Structure 1
Amino acid sequence: MARPYPVPNATIPYWRTELHELDSHRSTPELPQKQDIVIIGAGFAGAALAKYLLEDDSPSSSVKPSITILEAREACSGATGRNGGHLRPDLFVSLAARMQEAGLKAANSVALFEVANEKAVAALVAEENIACDLQQVTTADTFVDQAEAAKIKKLWDVMVRLDCPTLKEVMYHGPEDAERVTGVKDAKVAFTYPAHTVWPYKLVMHILAGAVRAGVNLQTHTPVYEVSGAPDGEGYWALSTSRGVVRAKKVVLATNAYTSGLLPEYDDAIYPARGTVCRVVPKTQAEVKLGSCAVEIQSPASVDCYYGTRPDGSLVIGGAKTTFNDRRNLWYRNYDDSTLIEPAVPYFPAWPGKALAGWEGKEVQMDRVWTGIMGYSADEAPHVGPVSSKPGLYICAGFNGHGMPNVLLCAKGLAKMIKEGCPFSQTGVPACYETGAERLRKISKRNAAPAINRARADIFLKHSYGS
């Protein structure tokens, strides 16, 4: 199987229709020969890492590290620039799923971390006056299937008796008012909570521009084809690119879905998965009850379709999983974002009229449809920290299509490790995000085992939680 690399001629997302001056920037005509730190990837993770690596936490330190960011295509042209525009911490549904897999403590730590990320992004936008259309909204997880709604309601009843801090922000809506509150037709159960929508490209490019002003060397259109198997005698890693070799004392892979293309040991752990997103514009005014919403097809964590509102009244809609989910070749380990998932395309302009109350007969124009490549983590947690047995190599990847409420503080924590040499436990990043050889072994062992189908919510309800 071919190793995943960014492909040329990617579909153009709505978010990349107003390009920043640094979109195809090269800070120097030639690549630097040696650097203290090289970051591979100029998306949210790469930009945030550069920002925090340059922040001077020690007044006595006057020397900043030399940092280069290498990007295979344009800046912020990968997953961040192709997502649904949500800054949406998951306060219940994924919390429930993670609790079943990893226990209550781990689930709570992740949910609280996502809330902290949302607050940190909002604070950064306010402090630096970033023009990225950040809007505070009410979002929802909505279930339209009766059996799945009943299942998630049982799970909710159990969890409200547990110590789940984020559930305090969630409101349950039963069959008598779920459709009225969400505007989703035939909604049986819904859970609403606060979130944001955002123009992700504009957010990331602002952060990246600040890093470049502070001295970061940005080199776009410079794919990295190989990282040396070990550092040389001087302690430098060699990165072979389309434009020559760069050597660096420390290398950070902010490569998400493409990680195993450079680190084959992560092939089982992080794999590419295609998704489709669309922007639709209603021809006449139509009411949308919520600022964003996800329609679930299975409890506790399987989204078919989701939308987010734009200030101009348009909707950004993503998912359409039911149109292609059983055709695995269209999405599983597929990293081609130059083509569309064709079965999903006609789904989007028809979806508002079918799914949203009051939109029946409303004509909508499909302004743009695009493909994005997500980095799915096999155990559903990102990988952050030093790469095992490769001193000086670090990773910040595998965000499961859920990077916006995770990346900023993951990058801040990893930057602290790199600068201070502190242990992972002092980064503030959830323990289950720490990468390492043992975690990779567990993933490979589980992948090699026979698949066992099970209803996760039903299994959980047999446990003793809440008794």
Structure 2
Amino acid sequence: MTSRAVSFWLNPQELSFQSGQDLPNLADVVVIGGGITGISTAYWLSRLGLHSVVLERGELSCGATGRNGGHFVFGTNQSFKDSVAAHGVANTLALWNFTRQSAELLKDLTEQHNIDCDLRFNRLAYLAMTPEQAQSLQESCELMMSHGLAIKYWGKQEVERNTQCSSFSAAAVEPHHAQLWPAKLVVGLAKAAQQQQAHIQTQIEVQAVTRQAKEFRITTNQGEIQAKAVVYATNALTYHLLPVLKGVIVPVRGQVVATAPTSQLFDFDWCLSNDTGYAIQRQDGRIIFGGMRWKSPTKEIGLEDDSTLEPLVGEGLKAFLRDTFSSLKEVAIEYEWTGIMGFTADENPLIGELPGRPGEYISAGYTGHGMPVAIAAGKAVAEQIAGSAQTPIPKPFWPERFLLG
């Protein structure tokens, strides 16, 4: 595995931010991590009048945010049916509403701050490849409709007509979905946060967080900062600073390819219903396709190196596009990259104050679905810190479920 992984979203981008030459000595809140979660949290903290300092060990958006598939997926990580079985109807609907709220915030922020991140709202189709998957999709669709959620079911003929492909047995089509250029969103939001006096610095590695009475000392490779609160927005790598989360949030490497621009095949984005692949087609015609981790002997579990590629996964991605869609048999692959996601056992993130650790907050462990959660999560955490909570965090996201008992 010697191939260099270069993300389409990060090439080229101006991702180095230095709000000042020197690290501040004091902050109300130190936010660790410069992806969408950390920048969103800093933005909302600054809106609430708190002085926040964001510390990122690399460049802005250089982790999972700048290495994903460009999706903004509404709803639950699990199928609606599985989420209801695990958490009940009320909690499942609360998860849906949280992502809906996040989408509304995303739309408002991009308009308010003129952030050009190629945001486009469209549809998402979950594609079944076997009769068993089709049956499961149909059952989930019926349950969603019974609870007032908009969803359409396509049978074999309808899905073939809409995909120009005979490989799929059925589809469940969500009318609410979005695609975007994630790194451009982060840069735009970071600039807005800076204008509100948030302090953002890249190339700063946090080495330790030490509690001192009711405050914290954050030790970095470039000095120390005192803060009243700290936010861990480090997703899969959180256990390096919080060993108690080792095994709770597990690193999993994803791999993505980007084709050359091609003719428009879809007016919707799509995922394979067995969670082995996901794709968008951008307005420039380029298809971004990720997944196929099952092709790797390790399933890419426990890996933290996003600088190299797994050839078996890469060939699986390319073969699926070539073999499934006749018009893509000769399409060129122009980019291929990897990114590290943070998975939890129940597929939900940890969002909120850490139990038994007052002043320490987390938003991490998104299980590959961070974009539709992070903006609202940043707002909710900022409000908790400011003591003005207006954005309820759904119970399935509470950290207590893993850290108590």
**TM-score, normalised relative to structure 1:** 0.81
Q: Deviations over 1:287-336 (max 9, x none)?
A: 41233111123xxxxx1111101121111110023322xx22x5112111
Cα deviations across residues 389-412 of structure 1 (Å, max 9, x unaligned)? 222111111111101111111111
Contact kept, 8 Å, 1:143 with 1:187, in 2: the verdict is yes
What is the distance in 1 between the residues matched to 2:118 and 2:360? Answer: 35
Q: After alignment, is 369-378 or 111-120 more displaced?
A: 111-120
Q: CA deviation at 1:52?
A: 0.8
Q: What corresponds to 1:232 in structure 2?
A: 212
- The superposition leaves residues 234-269 of structure 1 with CA deviations (integer Å, 9 ceiling, x where unpaired) of x32112211222221111111111111111111232
Shift of the alpha carbon at 1:29?
A: 2.1
Shift of 1:91: 6.9
Using the alignment, how far apart are the partners of 1:389 and 1:187 within structure 2? 49
Q: Which contiguous aligned blocks of 4+ residues in structure 1 show a shift greater than 4 angstroms?
A: none
- Are the equivalent residues in 2 in contact too, given 1:349–1:364 (CA < 8 A)? no
Q: Which residue pairs with 1:307 in the alignment?
A: 279
Counterpart mapping for 1:9-408 below 5 A? 11-20=5-14, 23-56=15-48, 64-90=49-75, 94-160=79-145, 162-163=146-147, 165-166=148-149, 168=150, 170-194=151-175, 195-228=177-210, 231-233=211-213, 235-281=214-260, 285-297=262-274, 303-324=275-296, 327-328=297-298, 331-356=300-325, 358-359=326-327, 361=329, 363-408=330-375
CA contact (8 A) 2:141 2:172 kept: no
Counterpart AA for 1:185: S
Residue 106 of structure 1: how far off its partner (Å): 1.2
Distance 2:17 2:165 in 1: 43
Q: How far apart, in 1, do the equivalents of 2:282 and 2:268 lie?
A: 8
| Cα pair distance change 1:412/1:198, threshold 3 Å | same
Q: Secondary structure at the match of 1:390?
A: coil
Identity of aligned residues (%): 29
Q: Does the CA-based 8 Å contact 1:95-1:108 persist in structure 2?
A: no
1-side partners of 2:127 and 2:165: how far apart? 8
- Provide the rounded CA distance (Å) in 2 between the counterparts of 1:126 and 1:96: 35
Structure 1 CA distance, aligned partners of 2:195 and 2:4? 28
Which region of structure 1 is more displaced relative to structure 2, 93-102 or 271-280? 93-102
CA deviation vs aligned residue, 1:79-120 (integer Å, no higher than 9, x gap): 111110011213796222211211111111112221222222
Aligned AA (1:14): F
Q: 1:353 to 1:24 in 2, by over 3 A?
A: same
8 Å CA contact 2:83–2:92 kept in 1: the answer is: yes
Change (3 A) 1:337 1:92: closer
Q: Which runs of 5+ in 2 are unaligned?
A: none
> Residue 414 of structure 1: CA displacement?
1.1
Counterpart CA distance in 1 for 2:113 and 2:127 is 35
Q: Which runs of 5+ in 1 are unaligned?
A: 1-8, 57-63, 298-302, 443-467
Q: Computing the radius of gyration over CA atoms, which structure comes out larger, 1 or 2? A: 1
Alpha-carbon distance between aligned partners in 2 of 1:391 and 1:441, rounded to the nearest angstrom: 14
Superposition deviation, residue 360 in structure 1 = 5.6
* 1:349–1:365 contact (8 Å) kept in structure 2: no
Please tell me the residue identity of whatever aligns with 2:60. A
- Deviation of 1:123 (Å): 2.6
Decide whether the 8 Å contact of 2:127 with 2:171 is kept in 1: yes
TM-score by length of 2: 0.93
When the two chains are superposed, the root-mean-square deviation of aligned CA atoms in Å is 2.1
Q: Secondary structure at the match of 1:359?
A: helix
Rate the CA distance shift 1:91–1:336 in 2: closer, same or farther, 3 A. Answer: closer
What secondary structure sits across from 2:308 in the alignment?
A: coil
Of residues 173-182 and 344-353 in structure 1, the stretch that sits farther from structure 2 once superposed is 344-353
CA positional deviation for 1:354: 1.4
Counterpart-to-counterpart distance in 1, 2:313 and 2:71:
20
Q: Using the alignment, how far apart are the partners of 2:165 and 2:383 within structure 1?
A: 44
Letter in 1 for 2:201: Q
C-alpha distance in structure 2 between counterparts of 1:127 and 1:14, whole Å: 26
